[in-house]
Amino acid sequence: MSQKLRNRVFDYSAAFIVLIAVFICLVPFLYVLSASLSSNRAIISQLVTIYPIDFNIEAYKVVFGDGGMLYSLFFTVILVLIYAVLALSVTVLAAYALSRKRVKGRKIIMLVMVFTMYFSGGLIPDYMLIKDLHLLNTPYALVLPSLMSVFNMIILKSFFENLPESLEEAAYLDGCNDLQILLKIMLPLSKPALATIALLYAVFRWNYFQDALFYITDENLYTIQLKLYNVINISQQMAGENINLNIPSEALKAASIMFGTIPILLVYPWLQKYFVSGITIGATKG
């Protein structure tokens, strides 16, 4: 077998395996999509696989006709944007400072931060803290407590550490102060990393609902995921209720899931170019 042929065989088999992997990832998504467009009869009878049976869009009419759902979606989009910007800023400031070797006490600061990755106060102390800070039932409760992820900060810190120190020195000699170095030199070089971290934050905020569940009782501050959680998890088997409850149909649940998932999916293609370069950027460095 010639080298060329061998390469081609390798390419095709790799592509084949990747295709299978892609398909496996897509099947659950396709299932929910087709369920949302199928009749309840077909879903319960397990006739639906990856294409709709008894095609109809009734479920979407209900979801889009639900003002509360649309409102929550809009609210969550705004919340995600604000949160991602704030979280990214705080993370950059912490990560950049901690990546500079001349900062004194940075090991101790790191230790304190890492500690919070392993230990936390628990649900009720958290709740009481939020309550005593008078953040209950405010949008701040959905932003401030999770403003910085130590994990993301460490990723970004390692990234900053890999940028050549000579850049910083050169900027110094040209008269930049620390903030200018960060804004004008470091950040433009870190776009892929920043995009990745921003996306991680945005997806986290989009998907996380426990804080809304516990800190919020005002329906105007419900996030889309909390709404989804309520719709999807309700079942006929709720303890103590042995009558016809008229719960949402399976198609409606599926349509709600699609409604809550597609907006965040749309962000991915837009950021994809950063992702690709984000992955390869460190490849040739030793």
Partner 1 sequence: MKVKALKSIFASFTALALATSLVGCQSTASSDKQSEETADKTTGHRTLKVEVFDRGKPGQPDLNNNYWTKYINETFGKKYNATVEFVPVPRTQEVDKLNVLMAAGEAPDIVFTYNQGTVYNYVQQGGLADLGPALKEHGSDLTNYLGDDLLKYGKFDDKQFAIPGKRTVLLGMNTFIRKDWLDKLSLPVPTTPEEFYETMEAFKEKNPGNVTGVIPFGYALQPAYPGIGNIPDAFKPSDLSKKEFATLQTSPGYQANWNLPGFKEGIEYVNKMYNDGLISPSFATDKDAKQLDADISNGKVGAFITNWDGPYRTAPGTLTNLKNNVPGADLIPIDPWKNDAGKTPKAGYSPNGMFILVPKASKNVDLAVQYLNWMADPEVTLFLQNGEEGVDYNMVDGVPVQTGTTNEGEKMMTVANNLDYDILSNGIELGDKEKNVAAVSAGYPGFEEEVQNALKVGSVDYYAPYYFSTPNSADAKYNTSLKDFSAQMLAKLISAKPSEVDSLYKTLVDQYMGQGGKAVYDEYVKNYNAQNKK
Out of 240, 269, 285, 286, the residue judged to bind partner 1 by CB under 8 A: 240
Interface with partner 1, residue 11, by CB under 8 A: no
Interface with partner 1, residue 3, by CB under 8 A: no
Out of 29, 140, 208, 229, the residue judged to bind partner 1 by CB under 8 A: 229
**Residue 184 gets which letter from DSSP?**
I
Instruction: Rank residues 162 and 210 by Cβ distance to partner 1 and give the closer one.
Output: 210
CB of 122 to partner 1, least distance (A): 5
Length of the chain: 286
Interface with partner 1, residue 260, by CB under 8 A: no
Contact assessment for residue 47 and residue 165, using Cβ atoms and an 8 Å cutoff: no
Out of 146, 180, 230, 277, the residue judged to bind partner 1 by CB under 8 A: 230
CB of 130 to partner 1, least distance (A): 9
Cα–Cα distances (Å) from 41 to 38, 58, 96, 237, 250, in that order, read 8, 14, 57, 19, 9
CB of 47 to partner 1, least distance (A): 8
> Residue 87's closest CA among 49, 143, 27?
143
Contact assessment for residue 97 and residue 158, using Cβ atoms and an 8 Å cutoff: no
How large is the angle between the packed helices 224-233 and 67-99, nearest 10 degrees?
Answer: 120
Locus of tokens 């992955």: 279
- Return the SS3 of 116: helix
CB of 67 to partner 1, least distance (A): 8
Report the distance separating Cα 66 and Cα 62, nearest Å.
6
Out of 4, 233, 266, 285, the residue judged to bind partner 1 by CB under 8 A: 233
CB of 90 to partner 1, least distance (A): 27
The interface mask with partner 1, positions 149-188, x = CB under 8 A, is ----------------------------------------
Residues 110 to 149 in contact with partner 1, rule: CB under 8 A: 122-125, 127-128, 131, 136
Out of 57, 62, 73, 203, the residue judged to bind partner 1 by CB under 8 A: 62
Instruction: Rank residues 177 and 237 by Cβ distance to partner 1 and give the closer one.
Output: 237
Out of 63, 79, 181, 195, the residue judged to bind partner 1 by CB under 8 A: 63
CA angle 217, 223, 228 (to 5 degrees): 100
Interface with partner 1, residue 2, by CB under 8 A: no
Report the distance separating Cα 40 and Cα 54, nearest Å.
9
CA angle 264, 143, 104 (to 5 degrees): 115
> Residue 256's closest CA among 218, 214, 211, 226?
226
Q: How far apart are the first and last CA of the chain?
A: 35
Out of 2, 166, 177, 237, the residue judged to bind partner 1 by CB under 8 A: 237
Interface with partner 1, residue 226, by CB under 8 A: yes
